[in-house]
Amino acid sequence: MNNEDMKLKQDLAQNLAPNQQKLKKQFLAGAISPDEFREEITRLDQSGTHTEEAGNNIALLEDPEVKGKIFEMTKKSKGVLDYYFSMLSLSYFHKGQRDLELKDFQMALKNAEKVNWENYRYWFLYVAGTVAYFAKRKDVLDKAIKELSGLHKKWEVEHKNDDIIENRKRSDYINLEILKRLLSSLGKGDEPKEKYNKVYGIKVN
């Protein structure tokens, strides 16, 4: 981590928003469990638009005291780190959507790489594909799409008799379709940063 990134994390930690400051106090005091901590961060992330609370949640998760508490908990349960890095990945991704900065999506990918959940590959590939889009790496984006598509097809075969398959296709396939749209837009006029919202489908006021 370079000095600029270190300073950014320190600045973020020193200026927590009210909701995150409250959550930090509850977590450090043991008033809420790690699961409740994660659920509350997810709730904040989902309130309003995803991007509004992204930076605030990153500040909370990067806070030295919060981070120290989480890593202390790994002595009893290694799984805590999977939740931690997944929350960071989600928050950096949504910050990237707000600021349209490649570095945020790269941080989302870096944290996603540290999550060991079996089904997390779906999210990892979505993030990797988005990074490839902003880096204008059509080959890497195409590779992510093919692997993600393959995972979906494998899942369909394994669950072909399940009632949940149509609901799964409607929800989880959205990210795959987004990556396909991003791929088709590369090399057609504007820079990726300038057309992401339109291609992604975000309504810009």
Per-residue pLDDT tens digits for 147-204: 998 887 876 776 666 665 555 555 567 889 999 999 999 887 678 888 888 887 654 3
pTM of the entire predicted model: 0.83
What DSSP character marks residue 190? S
User: Domain residues of the chain, as ranges?
Assistant: 1-116, 117-205
CA 88 to chain centre: 7
Does the pLDDT at position 112 exceed 60?
A: yes
The span from the CA of 135 to the CA of 197, in Å, is 16
C-alpha torsion sign, points 167, 171, 176, 182:
positive
Q: State the average pLDDT for the chain.
A: 84
